[in-house]
Chain A
Amino acid sequence: MNFPKPSVGMLPNDRLDYSAITKRKPLKLPKGARMVVWTITNVEEWDPTQTMPRTVLTPPAGGSPMPDIPNWCWHEYGNRVGFWRLLQVYDDFKIPGVMNINGVAVQAYPDIVKACLDRKWEFVGHGFTQRNMQKVENERADIRKSAEVLQKATGLRPRGWLGPGLTETWETPDILAEEGYDYVADWVLDDQPVWMKTRGKPILNIPYTQECNDVAMMLIQHHKASEFYERAMDQFEQIYKDAKGSARVMAISVHPYIMGAPHRAKYFRRIFEKIRRKRDVLFWNGSQIADWYMKAGPKPE
C-alpha cells in the first residue's frame, strides 16, 4: 500500500523492509548462549504544575483537576522508597542495570543517579521531560539537552534512547543518529535488533517491550501483581524455545512507582530467582547488545 509521505522524516517502511525472523541468517551469541535479557528501569520526574502522565486515583465525578497532588505523590513514592527496593533485587542477582531517565530527573534525584553510577549502570536518554515527543517544542534541542545532562552527571555520553511513552515524530530516528546516539528502543517490532535507515548514517533498534512492561500491565490492563511474574515467565520460556537456532532478546521494563510498591516487588524478584540460574542466558545492558549485534549481525545496507 502507498501512504502519503511526511514532509520531514520517513514512513516506517522506508526505514526498514519487512523481514520474517525465520528467513534470516542465524545470529550467534558468545559461548553458546541462546538469548539475552535486558532490564530497563525508568525514572521520571513529574511536574506538579502539569497534568500527571498517569493516575491511580481519579477525582470524584472524574475530570483532571490541577494541581493533582495525590497522583504526583504516588509517583514520588517510587523515587523515595520503591527504587531502593528494586535496586536490592538488581544487587542480589547481579543484574546489569539500564537507567532510562528524564533529563530533569537527573537533577531532581541525585541519590538515584549516584547509586546507579556506583554500580556502573548504563544511562539511556529518555527525553528531557516526561512529555510526548510530538508535543515538545524543539525535538532536537530536547534530545541534545538530554544527552548533555547525562554526560555531565555520568561523564559518558548516552548511546541509547527511549522516547517518553515510546513516542516519536516521523523524524526522531534521523535526529537521534545526527545527535550521536547509537541505538534506539522505541520500535517494538522484533525479537532481534534491526538496522534502520535515517537520512544520515543508519541507527540500530534493539528489542524493547510493551508487554512485559508494568505501565501496560498494571496501570492500563489492571492485572493483579502476580501476573507480572506469570507473563514474564511465559514470555521467557517461549523466547528461550524460539532461540534454539538463532539468538533472541527479551526486555523487561519497570518503573519504581509501580513494581517498587510493596505488594508487587516480590513478583519482580521472583522473575530473577527463576531465570538468573540459566547458564545459557546472558544478562546484558543495551550497549552490550548493540556492540554484539554490530559485530555478529548483518551490516546495514
Chain B
Amino acid sequence: MHPRERLPYSPIEGRAPLKLPKGVRLVVWPVLALEEWDIGRPMARMVISPPQGQPMLPDHPNWSWHEYGMRVGFWRLRKVMQKLNINPTVTLNARVCETYPSVVKACIDSGWELNAHSYDQVPMHKLDDERAVIDKSMDVIEKFSGKRPRGWFGPGLTQTFDTLDYLSEAGVEYIGDWVLDDEPVTIQTRHKPIVALPYNFEIHDIVMMALQHHPSDEWHGRALDHFDVLYAESAERPKFMALACHPYLSGVPHRISHVERTFAEILSHDGVVAWDGSKILDWYLTESRLRDAA
C-alpha cells in the first residue's frame, strides 16, 4: 500500500490532545540497537575507508569497529542504563541471539524489552523473501526469550510497500520506522492496524556521529536543544522523545559521558519518565480506545 492509503495527512494543530497519566508530561523512549555485521558482506557503516577509497571485501577494520561495541561498548551502556534506572527498548537483529547470546541474555536479565530488527542488518529491499525473514526474526527472538516481540524496526528503518502487511500478520503491534509525527499514530495494513511510535532520526547516533560527523559532545547539545522545545510544548500536549544508541558508537569511551549526562539531565525534569516501546503502546491503545468511546 502507498503510505497515504495507510495514513491520511493530519496537522498536529487542531488535534485533540492525548492525556498521559497524572504527573507525566513527556516520555523519553530509549532505544538500544544490537546488530550482526557479517564479515562476508560490505559493512553496514564505515568509520574508515581503505586507501584510494574503493571499498574492499573483507572489510576487516570496519568489522572490528562494530565488534568492539559488542565486546566492550554494550557493557558500558548497560551500566549507564542501570545506574539511571532506565529500561530501554532493545531492537536486535534476531541473529544476535545466535551469535552473541550472552549479550541478549544480559538484556533479558535486566528486564529490557526485546524488539525485532530483522534477522541481519540488510535492507528489507534486498531480501528474496521478506515475509519469511520477518517470521524467522520473530520466531528466533521468541524462542530465545520466551516472549514474542511486540515491536519492530527495519534495518536502517527500510521498508517496501508490503512490509507493514507482513509485519502485522507476524504479530507486530508497533513500529518505529515512521518518523513523521510527535505523537503515536495508527496506520492501516491489509491485516490489523499497526501503531507507529514517534521515533526520531535527529537524536540518533548513526545519523549524528557516523553520517554527519559531529563532535562527541554534540550528542548532548542537540538532545538538550530538542528536549527544551518538546518540554515547553508538553505543557499543552504530551510529547515523546526517542534517543537511539548503538554500542559501537555510543558505547565508546569518548562518547559515553555525553550519553550519560544527556539521559541524566533530561530525566531530572519534573514530569519526565523513561518508558519502553511496549509501555508507550499500552498507554496509547488505552488512550485511543477511551477517545474513540467518548
Binding site for B on A (CB under 8 A): 48-49, 56-63, 65-70, 72-74, 76-77, 79-81, 83-85, 108-109, 111-112, 115, 222, 224-226, 261-267
Chain A nearest Cβ from B65, distance in angstroms: 14
* Cα-based distance from A181 to B179 in the complex (angstroms): 37
Whole-angstrom distance between the Cβ of B221 and the nearest chain A Cβ: 7
The 10 closest A-B pairs by CB, nearest first: A263-B226, A70-B157, A65-B125, A60-B44, A262-B229, A263-B225, A73-B180, A59-B156, A69-B159, A222-B212
Give the complex CA separation of A68 and B229 in angstroms: 28
Q: A57-B211, A60-B45 are in contact. Are A70 and B159 (CB under 8 A)?
A: yes
CB-CB under 8 A for A67 and B159, given A56-B207, A61-B42, A76-B180: yes
Across the interface, name the chain B residue whose C-beta is closest to A69: B159
A263 to B157 CA separation, bound complex (whole angstroms):
21
Q: How far is the CB of A44 from chain B (nearest CB, A)?
A: 13
Closest A residue to B44 by beta carbon equals A60
If over half of A's interface residues share one DSSP class (helix, strand or loop), that class is named, otherwise mixed; here it is helix
Q: List 28 A-B contacts (CB under 8 A).
A: A56-B201, A57-B201, A58-B156, A59-B125, A59-B155, A62-B42, A65-B125, A67-B159, A68-B158, A69-B3, A69-B154, A69-B158, A69-B159, A69-B177, A70-B157, A73-B178, A74-B179, A76-B3, A84-B12, A85-B229, A109-B9, A111-B14, A224-B221, A261-B226, A262-B202, A262-B226, A262-B227, A262-B229
> B residues touching A (Cβ–Cβ < 8 Å)?
2-4, 9-14, 41-45, 121-126, 154-161, 163, 177-182, 201-204, 206-207, 211-214, 218, 221-223, 225-230, 233
Nearest chain A CB to B211 CB, angstrom units: 7
**A57 partner residues in chain B, CB cutoff 8 A:** 156-157, 201, 204, 206-207, 211
Q: Which of B43, B126, B201 contacts A65 (CB 8 A)?
A: B126
Could you tell me if B156 and A224 are in contact, using CB atoms closer than 8 angstroms?
Answer: no
B221 to chain A: which residues have CB within 8 Å? Answer: 224, 226
Query: Which B residues touch A60, using CB under 8 A?
Result: 44-45, 121-123, 155-156, 158
User: How long is the Cα–Cα vector from A224 to B222 in the complex, in angstroms?
Assistant: 8
What number of A-B contacts does a CB cutoff of 8 Å give? 135
A125: min CB distance to chain B, Å: 22
Do B123 and A63 touch across chains, with their CB atoms under 8 A apart?
A: yes
Is the Cβ of A224 less than 8 Å from the Cβ of B214? yes
Contact of B157 with A112 in the complex, beta carbons under 8 Å: no
Contacts of B3 in A (CB 8 A): 48, 69, 72-73, 76
Which residues on A sit within 8 Å (CB–CB) of B223? 263
In the bound assembly, the distance between CA atoms of A273 and B75 in angstroms comes to: 45
Write the nearest CB–CB distance from B125 to chain A, whole angstroms.
Answer: 4
